[in-house]
Copies of this chain bind each other. A is one copy, B any other.
Amino acid sequence: MKTPSRIGLTIDLSRDGKQVGDAMLRWSDNGNPLGYHPIPVVSIKGADGPVLLLTGGTHGDEFEGPAAIMRVIQNLDPALLRGQVIAIPALNMPAVHASARVSPLDGMNLNRAFPGDANGTPTAMIAHFLETEILPLCDAAIDLHSGGKASFFHPCALPTHTTDRALAAKNMDLAELFGLPLIWRLGSHNDNRSVNSAAERAGVPMIATELGGGGGVDPQITDQAESGILNIMRHLGVIEGGTAHPPEQRIVEIRDAAASLYATSEGVFDRALSAGQDVSAGDVAGWLHHVTEPERPSVRLHVPQDGMILAHTNRGLVSRGEMLLLVVQDVDQAL
């Protein structure tokens, strides 16, 4: 698709200093026919150096990342920076403003909208803008996700294990430097419509993160996210100081989609296990209570395979097909 992005910026990313402006998403609808939907962009640029992209709000109900980015950018002094931070704390701003995973303008999930379309609906326009206008400017990128209202993830960083071994190694470096004890490695089967896939196409070292969830903001996890961003900035040399990360980090992957547990009918899921736990096939995962038909016996659910629980649902009443437990396995690092 050769059409250039229809999204312009009110600031000039090549200028030095601290600037706050908008990516102008023009989508003419009933309420806003001649204006734009704003996606705030902050640029903090100092001496020559690498460019780091920080994005939050790819899903609009994941607030730990936006909070950590807002902390970081308010404390950065461009005079002390070597390089540039481009921060977009609410990338899918229409979704963030609605506290919703997907955009209220078109119902789309931005993390399944890449490479996007300059002539598409708003979410496709944002994806296209990020992939064609922003990622090519960057030397590294962190896209901060969490579990959102509907799920809770054990905090982790997500590097893509691309076939480009050099890029894969840089991704893993970022993941280690983010400093969380858990790394969830995305394999080649990762969806080619995500921010991770866009960074891979652009050849930009990048990690996503999962930072808890449930719809709110947990103090400890936000602290960890802020630390992780600063550690990576130090690693890149954007700010001064030494880097550190835990000596032992566990690396997991989804080896078999059938290892996870999904609801088999509508009911209240009375969960027995939590994200972060190691489990064995057959462990009791919880009960599905049929509150709409209490004469129907509750169903006891079991863990399908050995592994670790990466995420659990944060919903009480579930429907058939909803994810209850996401089960992952350790990466065999001998391979």
Interface residues of A in 142-200 (CB under 8 A from B): 148-152, 193
Is A294 engaged at the interface, CB distance under 8 Å to the other chain? yes
A119 neighbours in B (Cβ, 8 Å): 193
Contact yes or no, B321 A30, CB < 8 A: no
Chain A: interface secondary structure?
Answer: loop
Residue of B nearest to A296 (CB): B265
State the Cβ distance, A196 to closest chain B Cβ, in Å: 15
Contact yes or no, A314 B219, CB < 8 A: no
If A262-B36, A316-B63 touch, does A29 touch B107 (CB 8 Å cutoff)? yes
If A71-B287, A214-B214, A219-B273 touch, does A100 touch B294 (CB 8 Å cutoff)? no
Interface residues of A in 1-55 (CB under 8 A from B): 8, 10, 20, 22, 24, 28-38, 40, 42
Query: What are some 23 contacts across the A-B interface (CB < 8 A)?
Result: A30-B101, A32-B322, A34-B151, A35-B323, A63-B316, A66-B316, A70-B268, A70-B298, A71-B287, A89-B291, A89-B294, A96-B317, A97-B317, A214-B214, A216-B271, A216-B312, A216-B313, A219-B271, A219-B272, A219-B274, A265-B293, A266-B266, A292-B320
